[in-house]
Amino acid sequence: MGLTPTRKIAFGTAMAATVAAFSAVAVATAPGSSAAVGCGVLFDDFDYSSRTDAALGQRGWSIRSNTGGPGVSGARWLADNVSFPTVDGQKVAQLRAVTDGTAGGTSHAEFSQSNRRFFEGTYLARIKFADAPVSGPDGDHVNQTFYTISPLTAPRDPMYSEMDFSEYLPNGGWGEPGPINYQTTWHTYVADPWYADNQSSKQARSINGWHDVMATVSDGHVRYYIDGALVGDHSGKVYPRQNMSIDFNQWFIDLAGHSGGTSTYLQSIDYLYHAKRQVLSPAQASAAIGAYRSAGTTHADNVVTTNDCDPGAPPTTPPTPGATMLQSTFSGRCIDIPNGLPNDGTRLQMWDCNGTDAQKWTLHSDGTVRAMGKCMDPAGGALTNGTPLQLADCNTNPVQRFTLTAARTLLNISSGRCADIKDWVGTNGATLQLWDCAGTTNQLWGRL
């Protein structure tokens, strides 16, 4: 278990502003058939002009400027340490931490989605970590983070919930050498005298540069991923018990590693994605993000606060207005309803593109792909290789959700498999099936 708990010693001040608004939210159970509200998705590409952009507050973001922990006592948390530049060709949220080796000359940064409505589901952020400062000497005990958190209302608060998806210490800290990265899931703690109850995983290696930091929270397990690889699976009493905020910050654990001059460290976040109560694979989450970007959508948010919601209802792709034909890169033909008869169970086929209603598909906000009032559907609800694609009544079953990815595959969200022209048949009447995504031309589609 890592030594990350010590970062909480001075955390009470940072949380005090939210304690007054605290109300416990019970652990969510599987929704019944009467659930009427989807859980929702948050996607933010951080396309903001500056920290004073009015859209930030309107979309629930806050930038910290109050004093207090964690980190160096007497250091400041500066709003000006959060900015929105272009890095490596993408707009990002960027956090700056600066120190000259003194408390008065040290400043941190924190950027939060502070409305506590985040609990179970999938979380993914693409983050650029830094092993070295952009200026000044290296060696500081800096912490670059991505986490969710609730207030601690009292010592050993049994409802306290926190998930540290990543706490990266490029130069070490808490008595351990760097580089080292932690994932920690919390049950509770006491600030003074210090007591911590948590589970922690760690990777004693560099993660300098861009990385996908992801977690899924479901069925009593918090599973942590770095670049799609599982690095931690925490369960038991540390499983979160109430809604949390989403936070990014960068701060100095102490000043022991400073060697002189002024050092400036940068942490950049390319995007944030959260699908509430939906458990997606790393590939599925990346595909959903690609769909937003290919559609030119820089922000979407319909995440609800309550947890008695229907995880099958919220969109994993942005709404697409109007209908389009879906043309195969392989054959040049379009996905078609045979004879234009929208009967339940009709197997979909490929046919010469002709612009009829039988070929006009709409990608709906609930993730379904519809034509003539019915949905594209894996036959029998199966998700295995070779499952035929058919037309069926739209029934809110999650298996009917597809996304047209930035890579131009038509990805079935539940299976992680792609719409595939069976046996590479290029003529009229070729049928469609689910198959492992391979990026081959019989799995590539364009809007026409």
pLDDT computed for residue 294 by the predictor:
87
The residues facing 189 across adjacent strands are 196
Burial of 221 from C-beta contacts in 10 A (0-12 / 13-18 / 19+): middle
What is the model's pLDDT at position 6?
40
Q: Residue 192 in 3-state DSSP?
A: coil
Which pLDDT score is estimated for 312? Answer: 66
Query: pLDDT category, 310, cuts 50, 70, 90?
Result: confident
Between the alpha carbon of residue 326 and those of residues 75, 127, 285, 349, the distances in Å are 56, 34, 22, 12
pLDDT level of residue 295 (50, 70, 90 thresholds): confident
Please state the domain extents for the chain.
4-13+37-301, 326-447
Instruction: Give the tens place of pLDDT for each residue, 84-100.
Output: 999 999 999 999 999 99
Tokens of 198: 């948590």
Mean of per-residue pLDDT scores for the chain:
88
pLDDT score, position 413: 87
* 187, 197 Cβ separation under 8 angstroms: yes
pLDDT tier for residue 3 given thresholds of 50, 70 and 90: very low
4-13+37-301: CATH architecture = Sandwich (2.60)
With cut-offs at 50, 70 and 90, classify the pLDDT of residue 115: very high
Whole-number pLDDT of residue 37: 55
Q: With bands split at pLDDT 50, 70 and 90, how would you rate the model's confidence at 20?
A: very low
Q: Does the structure show a pLDDT above 70 at 35? A: no
* Strand, coil or helix: 381: helix
Residue 439 has pLDDT above 50, yes or no: yes
Question: What's CA 228's distance to the chain center, in Å?
Answer: 12
pLDDT in tens, 61-79: 999 999 999 999 999 999 9
Mean pLDDT of 285-309: 91
Read off the pLDDT band of 405 (50, 70, 90).
Answer: confident
Predicted TM-score (pTM) above 0.85: no
**Domains 4-13+37-301 and 326-447 in one fold:** no
pLDDT at 309: 86
Question: For residue 30, what pLDDT is reported?
Answer: 30
| Range from 11-25, 103-117, 144-158, 250-264 carrying the lowest mean pLDDT | 11-25
- For residue 396, is pLDDT > 90? no
Shortest CA distance to 10 belongs to which of 69, 74, 72?
A: 69
Of 3-17, 220-234, 339-353, 395-409, the one with minimum mean pLDDT is 3-17
* pLDDT of 190: 95
What pLDDT score was predicted for residue 308? Answer: 87
pLDDT (average), residues 252-262: 96
Q: Does residue 317 register a pLDDT over 70?
A: no
From CA 186, how far away is CA 199, in angstroms rounded? 7
Write out pLDDT tens, residues 36-55. 357 899 999 999 999 999 99
CATH domain 326-447 topology = Trefoil (Acidic Fibroblast Growth Factor, subunit A) (2.80.10)
Return the half-sphere exposure (C-beta side, CA atoms, 13 A cut-off) of residue 409: 24
Give the pairing of strands 61-63 and 107-118: antiparallel
On the question of pLDDT at 5 being above 50, the answer is no
Binning pLDDT at 50, 70 and 90, where does residue 311 land? confident
**Distance (Å, rounded) from C-alpha 435 to C-alpha 388?**
10
Determine how many CB atoms are found less than 10 A away from the CB of residue 83.
17
Dist. CA 8–CA 343, nearest whole Å: 60
